[in-house]
Amino acid sequence: MTIYICKSLISLSLKNSSHLNKTPISLFSLLFFSSSPKTPIAVADYLLARHKFSPETASKVSSVVKYLKSPEKTDWILSFLEEFGFSDTHLEQVIKRMPKVLYANLERTIKPKFKFFQDMGFSSSDIVEIVSSHPWILTTSVDNRLGPSILALKNVLGSNMDVPRVLKRSGLFLRYDLAKTMIPNIEFLKSCGISSSQISQHVCYCPRYFLHKPTSIREYVKRVNEMGIDGKSKMFLHAIRAISSMTRENWELKLEVFKSLGFSEDDILSVFRRQPLVFAKSERKIKAITHLFLSMGKCDISFVVNNAELLGYSVENRLKPRLRVLEVLESRNLLLKKPSLATVCRMTDKKFFEKYLLPHSDEVGELFVVNKASSKAKDLGA
């Protein structure tokens, strides 16, 4: 009788599969659904047939987990996540990144994490976003790692409000022992003269480098000091971030790039002190922007040194279109006075439009739009 029912279901599934646009239910899967719940089921069949996951997700997960011994327990896990607010996309993210969630213990392993985050004041949407981005959290100890880490972040940031924002940016704070990384690093940076407010701000927006080994942070600070930046400078933490983002070998290569473009050692130091994060930009970008200004015949290296932040702008999406607009306006004597090139490059798109495009839309409006469209196509690799 069971075999007859399965054959009927298979026939019905094959007839209806075309308009459902789903992978047909396999014979193995149907036999499982109609037989003993103790029978193992292939993960791919389970995800495709019972939960309508994408073939790509089913294939990736099944390469790690072949069979489920208790699929009904997995049903409970997925149902719990759905009821909590996880979308189909969130569920696929979780399962792809952490397949063993499929056979975790719902009551002892998964639910305690959600209760912990709720008790700490996290909203449901915060929890969904954090867990779907960092699903390994679901198998991490609350007592030994999650609790101490979140309390440490709260103490550094001053409240619970910023903790979810930091964790959305970097869940690594919950993977490291902060008592051995972030806390000693922060204490050392404070001893260098950096304020608590600066540190809190950087933890929010640049969290990763607080997780370096304390010995590494001390080395970075030493190198930054040697380049003439002390803890009282607003650029101090940015400088540490720039140096920590590359190996010594890559740092030396970056210095050679500046030298090859005509920067003296004093010029290089000046750029670093003004805009240290420029050194984290690609060699190609640094070369392209420097060549762009020098090729105009109106600028020299000193212009780039004194306006080092321009090395961080988009060549195709900001600098070239604006310089082309200025070139056309100047050639047609439409400018009452010669503008500051650096100021023109710095201003927002809105202000540039109002000042240089709106009054001369007939002459350069279309030119600017074409340049911007071309730039975006290049940025997208078209």
- Number of neighbours of residue 326 by Cβ within 10 angstroms: 20
Residue 317 belongs to some domain of the structure:
yes
Residue 351 belongs to some domain of the structure:
yes
Residue 114 belongs to some domain of the structure:
no
Residue 180 belongs to some domain of the structure:
no
Its domain, for residue 365, covers 313-382
Using DSSP, state whether 84 is helix, strand or coil: helix
pLDDT value of position 357: 85
**Could you give the number of structural domains in the chain?**
1
- Count Cα neighbours of 56 within 13 Å in the Cβ-side half-sphere: 4
Average pLDDT score over the chain: 84
Highest mean predicted confidence (pLDDT) among 296-300, 312-316, 356-360, 376-380: 312-316
Task: Give the CA dihedral 330, 334, 340, 344, nearest 10 degrees.
Answer: -100
121 near 86, Cβ under 8 Å?
no
Distance CA 337, CA 339 (A): 6
Distance CA 147, CA 151 (A): 6
Average pLDDT over every residue of 199-211: 85
**Long-range Cβ contacts of 240-245 (<8 Å, 24+ apart):** 240/209, 241/202, 241/206, 241/209, 241/276, 241/277, 241/280, 242/272, 242/276, 242/277, 242/278, 242/279, 242/280, 243/276, 243/279, 244/209, 244/212, 244/216, 244/217, 244/220, 245/209, 245/280
Distance CA 167, CA 375 (A): 34
- Number of neighbours of residue 97 by Cβ within 10 angstroms: 15
- Identity (one letter) of the amino acid at 239? A
The neighbouring-strand residues paired with 68 are 41
Q: 12-41: per-residue pLDDT in tens?
A: 443 444 333 433 434 444 444 444 456 778
* Confidence check: pLDDT of 42 > 70: yes
Residue 321 belongs to some domain of the structure:
yes
Q: 224-275: per-residue pLDDT in tens?
A: 999 989 888 889 999 999 999 999 999 999 999 999 999 999 999 999 999 9
- Identity (one letter) of the amino acid at 352? F
The neighbouring-strand residues paired with 41 are 68
Distance CA 271, CA 246 (A): 17
pLDDT value of position 9: 38
Specify the pTM.
0.73
Q: Considering only CA atoms, which of 230, 77, 54, 223 is closest in space to residue 139?
A: 77
- Angle at which helix 196-205 crosses helix 236-244, to 10 degrees, equals 40
The neighbouring-strand residues paired with 67 are 42
Phi (first) and psi of residue 23, to 5 degrees? -65, 130
Q: 281-294: per-residue pLDDT in tens?
A: 999 999 999 999 99
- What burial letters (b/e) apply to 4-22, b meaning 16+ CB within 10 Å? eebeebbeebeeeeeeeee
